[in-house]
């Protein structure tokens, strides 16, 4: 929602701001480049400018809503507002606030908030709020003020040479600009969880190499489509990063697991999978493995089993969803738009045993592993196929 005449997006970052000046400058540049790439990918005609500790996206009124969405989809962004830019004069600001109110105030309560970044103006923020409040009050019918929890807020941010008037602060993902942390391999099965865990580490600045294990008789075309399509959705947040899916043939390993392993089958599967991921991580100079596991979500994911399976690799395993409830994961999947693709029925054979081991020891897991399973993992990883998105 924007006041008429809005042709700019004011973008705020969060965690970037707590870094040293030098690091912050570098991160802001990365943020600007990533945002420009998303705008270009969506065919939005816009320019991104770094200013103070903000970014400004210059566009036109017709594109300002889409540009705001693109900005708010960029990792590292705390919030984005479509703004009208005016000269920082009190009367002009009041008029712009009043115009915005006439256009958008539709009953309910309102507040005016002002922020002044420079002290070089002949008015204080408090004065601006008071007088701006009066201007809005006089511009609309039956106004009601609520400074604590208003239905609509008319805001102004005043800088040295311009003032920004806006009525919406759209939440961004927060986090850090993508590419400011080390690369990670992310195991994406295309279920609800792994696209979310992938998005979570991207949010903290790590580019990801998506790895999908093609499970032969235990996977299939729809299973694979889920993985590819969810990564395609994630790629929208990172069009300037290589997110081609690394597809690994794991059908033979799955057959052996099904034939040779009983209750500890899923533990052996995880151990195999981590070894595949580790191998690809080394090849691609990545420094960790990401999964969508959460404590207790499945029998193979009891706190005890997670410890046992982790011993298959010396590489750190990151589990961003570790403590999250399913309902929160589903809400996140909907927000980032991977939910629909994740719920394509995969209709594949079940690999999990009927009576799975929930309380394994490392010895149980090692004894259960089919002979040469780690060699098989290396071999499978060597035969990786790149899937273009």
Ligand X SMILES: Nc1ncnc2c1ncn2[C@@H]1O[C@H](COP(=O)(O)OP(=O)(O)OP(=O)(O)O)[C@@H](O)[C@H]1O
Residues making up the annotated binding site for ATP are 187-188, 270, 292, 301
Near ligand X by CB under 6 A: residue from 82, 88, 132, 191: 191
Query: Does residue 298 touch ligand X according to CB under 6 A?
Result: yes
Q: Among residues 63 and 189, whose Cβ is nearest to ligand X?
A: 189
- Give the separation between CA 66 and CA 43, rounded to whole angstroms: 10
- The three-class DSSP label of residue 259 is helix
- Asked if 158 contacts 117 with a C-beta cutoff of 8 angstroms, the reply is yes
User: Per residue in 164-179, is it b (16+ CB within 10 Å) or e — as a string?
Assistant: bbbbbbbebbbbbbbb
Query: Does residue 194 touch ligand X according to CB under 6 A?
Result: yes
Q: Among residues 114 and 306, whose Cβ is nearest to ligand X?
A: 306
Residues 253-282 that bind ligand X (CB under 6 A): none
Q: Considering only the stretches 138-146, 156-164, 212-220, 237-245, report the one whose residues sit in contact with ligand X under the rule CB under 6 A.
A: 212-220
Location of structure tokens 């997110």: 243
Query: Does residue 187 touch ligand X according to CB under 6 A?
Result: yes
Annotated binding residues: 187-188, 270, 292, 301
Location of structure tokens 């939910």: 339
- Asked if 133 contacts 150 with a C-beta cutoff of 8 angstroms, the reply is no
Query: Does residue 59 touch ligand X according to CB under 6 A?
Result: no
Q: Among residues 83 and 250, whose Cβ is nearest to ligand X?
A: 250
Strand partners, 48: 57
Near ligand X by CB under 6 A: residue from 205, 292, 320, 356: 292
Min. distance of Cβ 203 from ligand X in angstroms? 16
Min. distance of Cβ 293 from ligand X in angstroms? 5
User: Which of 138, 134, 58, 151 has the alpha carbon at shortest distance from 90?
Assistant: 134
Please work out the total of residues on this chain that contact ligand X, with binding judged by CB under 6 A. 15
Q: Among residues 14 and 353, whose Cβ is nearest to ligand X?
A: 353
Min. distance of Cβ 159 from ligand X in angstroms? 45
Query: Does residue 212 touch ligand X according to CB under 6 A?
Result: yes
- Asked if 170 contacts 10 with a C-beta cutoff of 8 angstroms, the reply is no
Location of structure tokens 């609309």: 140
Query: Does residue 3 touch ligand X according to CB under 6 A?
Result: no
Min. distance of Cβ 330 from ligand X in angstroms? 10
Min. distance of Cβ 34 from ligand X in angstroms? 25
Collect all residues with Cβ–Cβ distance below 8 Å to 74 and sequence separation of at least 6: 11, 31, 34, 35, 38, 172, 173, 177, 237
- Asked if 222 contacts 355 with a C-beta cutoff of 8 angstroms, the reply is no
- Asked if 99 contacts 111 with a C-beta cutoff of 8 angstroms, the reply is no
Near ligand X by CB under 6 A: residue from 85, 100, 167, 192: 192
Residues that bind ligand X in the complex, under the rule CB under 6 A? 187-189, 191-194, 211-213, 215, 291-293, 298
């Amino acid at each position: 929602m924007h006041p008429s005449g809005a042709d700019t997006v004011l973008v705020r970052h969060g965690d970037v701001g707590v870094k040293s000046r030098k690091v912050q400058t570098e991160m802001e540049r990365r943020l600007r480049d990533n945002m420009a790439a998303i705008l270009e990918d969506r065919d939005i005609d816009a320019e991104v400018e770094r200013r103070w500790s903000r970014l400004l996206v210059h566009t036109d009124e017709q594109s300002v809503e889409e540009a705001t969405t693109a900005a708010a989809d960029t990792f590292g962004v705390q919030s984005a507002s479509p703004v009208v830019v005016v000269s920082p004069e009190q009367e002009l600001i009041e008029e712009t606030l009043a115009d915005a109110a006439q256009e958008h105030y539709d009953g309910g309560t309102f507040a005016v908030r002002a922020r002044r970044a420079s002290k070089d103006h002949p008015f204080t923020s408090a004065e601006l709020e008071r007088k701006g409040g009066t201007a809005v009050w006089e511009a609309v019918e039956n106004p009601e003020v609520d400074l604590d929890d208003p239905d609509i807020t008319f805001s102004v941010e005043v800088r040295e040479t311009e003032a920004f008037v806006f009525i919406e602060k759209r939440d961004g993902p927060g986090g850090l600009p993508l590419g400011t942390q080390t690369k990670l391999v992310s195991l994406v099965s295309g279920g609800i969880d792994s696209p979310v865990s992938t998005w979570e580490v991207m949010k903290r600045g790590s580019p990801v190499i998506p790895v999908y294990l093609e499970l032969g008789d235990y996977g299939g075309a729809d299973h694979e489509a889920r993985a590819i399509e969810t990564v395609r959705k994630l790629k929208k947040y990172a069009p300037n990063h290589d997110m081609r899916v690394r597809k690994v043939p794991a059908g033979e390993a799955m057959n052996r697991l099904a034939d040779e392993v009983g209750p500890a089958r899923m533990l052996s599967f995880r151990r195999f999978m981590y070894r595949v991921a580790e191998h690809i991580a080394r090849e691609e100079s990545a420094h960790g493995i990401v999964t969508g596991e959460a404590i207790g979500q499945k029998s193979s994911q009891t706190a005890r089993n997670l410890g046992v399976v982790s011993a298959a690799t010396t590489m750190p395993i990151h589990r961003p969803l570790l403590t999250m409830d399913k309902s929160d994961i589903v809400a996140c999947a909907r927000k980032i738009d991977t939910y629909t693709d994740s719920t394509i029925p995969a209709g594949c054979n079940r690999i999990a045993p009927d009576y799975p081991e929930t309380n394994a020891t490392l010895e149980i897991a090692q004894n259960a592993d089919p002979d040469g399973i780690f060699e098989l993992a290396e071999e499978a990883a060597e035969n990786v196929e790149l899937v273009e998105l």
